[in-house]
Each structure stands twice: as structure tokens, then as C-alpha cells.
Structure 1
């Protein structure tokens, strides 16, 4: 079918009358009542909020892409080096000395616009006839396309972060001065590129190819155990603690990482079959861990001291300072440490509590089975209305109005300061841990190597390079540590934008 336009109203897609029988290849607009679509034979149609109407343009070459900075500054590019500009009244051709086809156009502002192409936008195999042209607000000039690689799409976030993709898996990045060839891990023709920010860019192409640039590196770390690791806490990238169960008939483990020794096993007096689940500290010389025997183990910088704090298993621990620490566990158990002793609190639930975390002494959250969510205001614990019945394993937030909890079946719920709502997570896998550095930089981990990132807009999957069962995540600034089955520890570092 030619001249097809379909519209999404937030619920469903419906066709619209385009008043053309030409194939349409690109759409762009500034508002719901100011949209343009371009296509074969120089076709341009405009939508005013009510209907699509044709606009005149010359020459009548096929147009491949359209983009603009304002309603009176719109550019369309196409075959034979065609570039036409709309000034709010008429379309006029722009001067460009090339006969190559331009497949895509995108810019940062009126004086910084890029168009890319090749000898033929329909040819997905030619690799050496590419072109890049740049508009400075006055004229178009050619730029070096690096080995003349054929290019099919261009997009970016800033003058120092522009991406162009094309045949043979080509990905180029403009750093503000010149174009650099990037590693893409594929030889498939790449047909489109888009993203939400410099470290979350997707390129798509033939054979179902999707390449994701996330500005990150992931590396496995060597550990002295095959135990399952359930919790992790760090006082910085060079002081990390992880906790878990035993291996080879040994008992619960606490691992400690520092730059001088790497990962090593701490000496603790664990009982037979004991599992250490939770860990938290106010600094690297004041660290607490909890076990399924109701024990709290305290590290004072020299040794671990064991205290019996509850009759039920304790799965998680968190505090706002040295004299205000909470631990949660089975049968709705919540115990509190005031700097001198542990005492039982009334949680108003008998549900198993998996995790506890807070912003300060008067904003503390606990989550658990059947979607249980509790809030502590400094005086008492109160159940909160939960949008899910799935078990919730972990909770973390960046502010009182931005708290996340994760759980079974890919469940992610978010608290906006008033109520909890579910979020699309892009996975159905069990999620066991959540942590972040801010409202636009949140990570969630789970089974089968599931590793998600939230950029403030949506949750996206990252490639963790493993199918391990991830059990928890914690970090410091741009470095996070992920722990899981069989002694798995991964260090994830957010780095400069490289593919």
C-alpha cells in the first residue's frame, strides 16, 4: 500500500488519508498540528491537525528524510543530492555539489545540521560510496566519511555526540571536531539510529540486528568462593563487602574487597548451614551484616562481633546513622538498633520482609512477599497500598518522590511521594536488586543475567555478558557491583561514550 499514514492516539493505531499514492519514507513535526511527511517523486504532505495536504517542491526527486529546528526552518533530503528547505511559506532547493543520494538528515540547531548518504539508499551492500555533508547556517559542505563508508541514518544529542550508521555494520561518531569509526560487533547493514541520551543509543538494521551503545563497560571479578552471594555494599569503588552462603560444606560468607588484597574471605564465626543475607555500613569501619539465624554481625574495622537480634531470619539491614539501624526478615520481623541495643518493633504485618532501605530517619521503606510495602515515619510502621501481589525483593530511591521496588515476574513499582504504581520493565524475569545514582540513572538486576537501566524515561536491557543468577546490586557514583550465584561478582563502570 502506498501513501500510508497511521496515527497512534495513546491507545490504538488508525489509518489516516494522506491524499497521495506515493510511498512515504519519513515523518517529522513540531506540534500535533504541524507535521510533514516526505516520499517518492518529491512528495511532501503537511498535516494541520485536521487533514493532510500536498505541498509543491522542485525538483521531483525522491525524498528520504525530513527534520527541522522550527516550523519555518525544515529540511528534506533525498536522491541525487537533493536538499530542499521550507521557510514557513515555500520549499526551495539548496545548493550541494554531489549526485549521491542523501538518506537521512538531523541537526542540533539551525547552524549545525548533518545529512548522510551513499550512491543509492536502497543498496544495502555497497560499502564505499558514502557521503556526509554539514550545514553551518549558510551553506552545505562535505565532510570526511572515513573510507567513504555508505551511510543510511544520522542522529545525536550534542555537537560532540553525533552518530551515523550504514552498511557493513558501520557506526561513526562525531566528537565535535571529526568523525571516528566505532566498533559495532556486526557486519549487518544498519538502517536507523536513535536514542535517549549519549550513553543510550540504538542502531537497527537488516536481519533483526540491534546494536546498543550504553557508555558502559562490564567486567567479571575473580573471587575466592563459589557461594551464592545475596548482598553487596560499598563505601567507594575500593572498599566493597559481599555476603552469602557456604560452599564445599563451609558456612556463611562475608567477602571484603580492597585495592591491596582484592577479594578475600573475612573470618566470622558462622554456624552450620547459616546464610548471611544482608549488609550495610555507615563507613568501611562500621559495617553490619544479617543472617538467617537472626544474627547481626558488626565489623568495627578489625573484627566481626556477633549479636543475636531476632528469633527469625534477618534478610536485610539499613541505617540512617550509627544509632538508627533497621533489620527486617521472616514473619514481618523488624528490629531496631539505637546505638546500644536491638529491640523488636511492631511492623503491623506477618509477611516475610525481604529488604529495608530509607532516605533518612523518617522515610524508611520495607518490602516483601505478596507485594507488601511498609513505611516508617520515625514513630511507627504503616502498611502502604501496593499495586502488585508479586513478592518484592529490593527497594531503593533517589528522593522521597522517587522510590523503586523490584520483584517477581519483572515487577517494578515506583513511589512518586503520593502513591505506588507499576512500571513497564521490558522483562518477565525475576528481579532481585535495584540501585542507582540518581533519578535518571537506576539499575535493576535479576535471574539469567538480567540487567536493566532506567534513564528517567524507560527501562532498557543491558548486555551483562552472562546468564548468571544476579541477586543484588550496590555501588558508588559511576561504579556498581553485582553479586549472584556461584560467587559471581561483576563490576559495572559507566564510562565515556564509546561503542
Structure 2
């Protein structure tokens, strides 16, 4: 502990070695795989006592570990749970989205406040539904929770009531001070102090960081952690600061951090966790980044009575840190972690590339884009085919007779005879075809305004189908001509059963830009703000979008799945979970395909082409 006090050996018995059967990711840290979490789960916080551990997250997820097994507990509402606090498991509180406040009495979780619905059965726009993000309290049972728009709620032992904060800033952290006062912190450097007599008062703070965590230190000062968005960096940078009676002081000037999310006291020091798998140890006035073994965002950390720790975050991540690891960490190997797995290739064009298609029979791969651009890679080199006029080309495929097809703007489909392109179909409408699908016999095209075209072996021409939507359809995938999915605006998924198209609710309102699967029980979709979804044959699981770059394309093979998107974003799923990869480019990536002989190829802005070899 931070005061150096010895721990009762009896308190360590439950947890000692409990997570050692987990998958090891780095010396001293282990991925907890015994918890039945999916890659779409996001965990925000945890709480532990001698009897076990609670871990909470999005969709009302609550997992409990009793020393032997993880079990999922029933939650009153399927909304994110952001924070836990309590004097004991018989008096444990949880707060989260839509103002949700839950109480655990040792047996069950009970809804206390928030998640109010209107007459239409939707969550109401009311102060009671203001999202809450942090909670703390005292040994007398009183508690305080903070959230958006300066919201502060106080539990007096009987009811929760609002307190006047004096700010409209979003509050994300709260901690109790040794003298009975409270400190709350949040957006734009907001720091508040609650005096029992005078109420809440805004404190001076010259550091305009968005504070997300606060930890009271033994001397009565408070460590603050968070981050700010920098346009030149294209993302968040982390900040650490110290609050004392004299004000707020920025710590570790000149050091580069990712955004911090949570703090915990451990082994006479502090552990700070955050974005991109970041774990730092602060001890004796120094800060050291250590190797977490992952690249996911870590959103919470809780220390256990054993001296171990659990860190939790994106993509169902729960890491267990051994007690020894909290004293002797494996250093973070920055150079190794940042080495791009993708290599740039010379495309010979600066035109934007919108599509890739792998000719599995012939072994070649094609790219297409602006101003009729079509490229072919054969034996490792990219070369240009004659342009398809001046219109943009978004999709490629082959006709049943082997002719290469190109589709794009103005609803046109062109065919290549080996020397030149000729128009094979013209919709005569200003509608763009965005995707082409084929099983070798039947062809399907989809695009703007709900456009779906079909060409069957027994039909002389393309026929427009009733798609059931007027929204854009960006991507097509299916194992055969009786089972197809098309994805589009506002989470739209349309399903073809061989007879008609019907809506297939994926559980998100974010735009979906592409779809790919290995089979009807293993389908992935990607979209706006980093949305990733998976269908297992029974239900969709959506990874919540949290200020991520747009993901524009997805594909995979038998072992892995790759998604690409804006600002050179690449995510790879290794069969267990998603992790970001360094692409080596800041340019947007708009298409991805498997490559002949293995690996992947991505294409995007300014003619960029990248290759990943396994």
C-alpha cells in the first residue's frame, strides 16, 4: 500500500495465483481469458474485497469473480456502468449512463435512480438521466457522484439529491480528502472543492486539461490525470497534475503521454493507465512506462487485497498484474511496439483509391478509384490498366465469362476485353454503385439511394431489385446468392434471403461502411467513429464507438480479420480480440483485401497502397 503498511496474509489467500492460468502478455501481466467477455465488451471500472471482484462496463455488463469462477450478474438496465464505490459488497454503489444509479445489497443489484423513460418508451431528456461517470464516499455511508454538465449528486444515507456545483463543465472524477472535504474534476481544467459548510467552489487551474481521474495521496494532495486533444498530433495527449492547497501544478513537463483514464495506489506508488495500452508507474518522483502487452485503451484499474491489480478496458480486455509485477515491471519497448507491420507500395498514381478486389482464380489483385483509375498488381508490381473514362470507379468483380467488371458513378458498369473498356450497363441516373458481389454465376451491385441490381445467368441484363430502403448501401457480402448482407446509413443492415430484402437490426445507429464474414455465424461490420460489430449466428455485438477514426473497410482470412479507415487507421482481430496496428501512413485507407499468397493489401487517399505480410 502507499503508506508502506504490511498486508494481512489472510487477505491474500483468495487471489494469490488465481489468474495464473490466463494468457500471458508480458512479464507480470496476464490476459484474463476465464472471463466470458466478447471483443465488443468495454469495461470501465472494478471493485474488490476479500470475497471477490466486480468488473463493470457497457451494456450494463457486471461480472463477478468469487475466487474460482467469473459469473455475469443481472443488471436492471442495458446501459453503460462507469464506476463503482462502496464500503462493502453489502453496500456497493454503481453509476453510469442515463443517470443510472444501482445498489448492491450483497445479493442483487437494484435500480435506484435514472434511466427514466417517456411516453414512447424511450429514455427521457431530463436532468435525472444526466450521465454519471465517477463516485466516492465515506465510512459514514454518504456518497457523491459526478457527471455531465456539472452534475453532482449527494447520497445522505436515505436519498440522492443534486448539489449546486457552480459549473457546467463535464465532471469525470471525484475523491475524498483526509480532512473531510471533497475534490471533483473534469473538462477544461475544472477543479472543485466541497467544504462541508460553504458547498462547492471552483478552484484556480491554469492547466486546461480534461481531467478523467483523481487520486488522494497520503499527504493530502491529489494526483489528477487526463488529456487534451491536439490538432497537430491528430489525437489526445495525456496530462498529469498535482493539486495542493497552493493550486494545480503540471507534472513531468516535456514527457509525452497518451490520454490517461484511471489511477490507483499500489506498492508505495501510483499506477496510471490510459489509451493505447498505456501503463505508467509513478514512484519516488519518477514516472516509468511499463509493458502492458496490449495496445487497447485501458479505462480502469483496481488493486486487490492480495497486492495484485486488475486493469480493464476496450475489446473485453481484463489484465491481471501480479503483486511482484507492480514492483518489478517489464519496461515498455516503444521502438518494437511502434514498428509498422505494413509496407508502402508504389502505385504510380496520386488518385484516390476506393476499392480493391482479389482475383482468387487468377492470382492478381486490382485497385480502382478516381477518374476511371484501375490498377493491377501481378508478381509484386502495380501497373495501370486503361482508364474507365473519367468517372470514379468504386467496385470491381468478374462476370461469369471471366470478363473484368468495373462499376461506379452514374450507375455505370463497364467491361474490359483485355485491351479496352466498353459500357455493359447504364442506369441513366446520377447514382453511384459502391459495391459488387459475385458467386461466379450471379452478380449483385449496391449503392446510393438503396440501389440494388442483380444479373442472373438466365437474364440478358441487369435488373433493379426492391431493396426495402432509400438509404445508401456501401458494402455487400454473402456466402451464396440466397444469403447476402448489405450495410449502410444509420446502422442499416439489409438481408437477402433469395426472395426479398429485409431489415436486419444490428443494434447501432452509426453508419456502417463494410461487411465481411467467414460464414453466417461469423460476420463483421465496420463503420463510423470506429464502430465494429460481430454477428455470431444468434445476435449482434457492437463495440461502442468512442471518438475513434471511421473504419471504412473490412476483410479477413481463416485466422484473422483486418479493418482499415481514416487517418491510416488499421485494426486487426487475431481470433480473440481487436488491436490497433501502426500503418505507417496518416492517409485515409478506404479498402482492404486479402493478397495472393497470404497477407493483406490496403488502398486509399493519394494513391496509397500498403501491404501486410504475416
TM over 0.5: yes
The CA deviation string for residues 441-463 of structure 1, in whole angstroms up to 9 with x for no partner, is 00000011111011222110111
Whether the aligned pair in 1 keeps the contact of 2:476 and 2:514 (CA below 8 Å) is: yes
Whether the aligned pair in 2 keeps the contact of 1:328 and 1:334 (CA below 8 Å) is: yes
The CA deviation string for residues 18-41 of structure 1, in whole angstroms up to 9 with x for no partner, is 9xxxxxxxxxxx993399xxxxxx
Q: 2:531 aligns with which of 411, 419, 426?
A: 411
Give the distance between the partners of 2:573 and 2:291, measured in 1 at CA.
Answer: 25
The CA deviation string for residues 222-280 of structure 1, in whole angstroms up to 9 with x for no partner, is 111100000001125951110000xxxxx2211112128x2222114414xx2111122
Decide whether aligned partners of structure 1 residues 365 and 194 sit closer, same or farther in structure 2, where only a CA change above 3 A counts: closer
Aligned to 2:424: 307
Aligned to 1:280: 397
Note if 1:346 corresponds to 2:466.
Answer: yes
Decide whether aligned partners of structure 1 residues 281 and 475 sit closer, same or farther in structure 2, where only a CA change above 3 A counts: farther
Aligned to 1:336: 454
Aligned to 2:561: 442
Q: 2:575 aligns with which of 456, 460, 469?
A: 456
Whether the aligned pair in 1 keeps the contact of 2:291 and 2:332 (CA below 8 Å) is: no
Note if 1:355 corresponds to 2:475.
Answer: yes
Larger % of strand: which?
A: 1
Give the distance between the partners of 1:232 and 1:463, measured in 2 at CA.
Answer: 20
Aligned to 1:44: none
Decide whether aligned partners of structure 1 residues 461 and 302 sit closer, same or farther in structure 2, where only a CA change above 3 A counts: same
Q: 2:373 aligns with which of 249, 253, 270?
A: 253
User: Please, what TM-score do these two structures have when normalized by structure 1?
Assistant: 0.57
Aligned to 2:108: none
Note if 1:241 corresponds to 2:366.
Answer: yes
Whether the aligned pair in 1 keeps the contact of 2:411 and 2:426 (CA below 8 Å) is: yes
Quote the offset at 1:404 in angstroms.
Answer: 0.8
TM-align CA RMSD:
3.7
Give the distance between the partners of 1:491 and 1:429, measured in 2 at CA.
Answer: 20
Note if 1:486 corresponds to 2:606.
Answer: yes
Note if 1:297 corresponds to 2:414.
Answer: yes
Count the aligned residue pairs. Answer: 316
The CA deviation string for residues 318-350 of structure 1, in whole angstroms up to 9 with x for no partner, is 1111x3111111110100011431000000100
The CA deviation string for residues 138-172 of structure 1, in whole angstroms up to 9 with x for no partner, is xxxxxxxxxxxxxxxxxxxxxxxxxxxxxxxxxxx
Structure 1 window deviating more from structure 2 (455-464 vs 2-11): it is 2-11
* Mapping 1:321-400, distance limit 5 Å: 321=440, 323-339=441-457, 340-400=460-520
Aligned to 1:16: 49
Q: Gaps spanning 5+ residues in structure 2: where?
A: 16-31, 36-42, 52-64, 71-88, 90-287, 297-318, 320-324
Decide whether aligned partners of structure 1 residues 376 and 255 sit closer, same or farther in structure 2, where only a CA change above 3 A counts: same
Give the distance between the partners of 1:493 and 1:275, measured in 2 at CA.
Answer: 29
Decide whether aligned partners of structure 1 residues 301 and 12 sit closer, same or farther in structure 2, where only a CA change above 3 A counts: same
Q: Secondary structure at the match of 1:293?
A: helix
Q: Gaps spanning 5+ residues in structure 1: where?
A: 19-29, 36-49, 51-187, 197-201, 246-250, 495-499
Decide whether aligned partners of structure 1 residues 384 and 294 sit closer, same or farther in structure 2, where only a CA change above 3 A counts: same
Structure 1 window deviating more from structure 2 (336-345 vs 325-334): it is 336-345
Aligned to 2:348: 224
Q: Secondary structure at the match of 1:486?
A: helix
Give the distance between the partners of 1:411 and 1:34, measured in 2 at CA.
Answer: 31
Whether the aligned pair in 1 keeps the contact of 2:413 and 2:426 (CA below 8 Å) is: yes
Whether the aligned pair in 2 keeps the contact of 1:231 and 1:279 (CA below 8 Å) is: yes
Decide whether aligned partners of structure 1 residues 192 and 458 sit closer, same or farther in structure 2, where only a CA change above 3 A counts: closer
Q: 2:590 aligns with which of 448, 468, 471?
A: 471
Decide whether aligned partners of structure 1 residues 208 and 222 sit closer, same or farther in structure 2, where only a CA change above 3 A counts: closer
Give the distance between the partners of 1:205 and 1:256, measured in 2 at CA.
Answer: 45
Query: Displaced runs of 4+ in structure 1, greater than 6 A?
Result: 4-11
Quote the offset at 1:281 in angstroms.
Answer: 3.2
Q: Secondary structure at the match of 1:346?
A: coil
**Structure with larger RCO (C-alpha < 8 A, sep 6+):** 2
Give the distance between the partners of 1:411 and 1:195, measured in 2 at CA.
Answer: 17
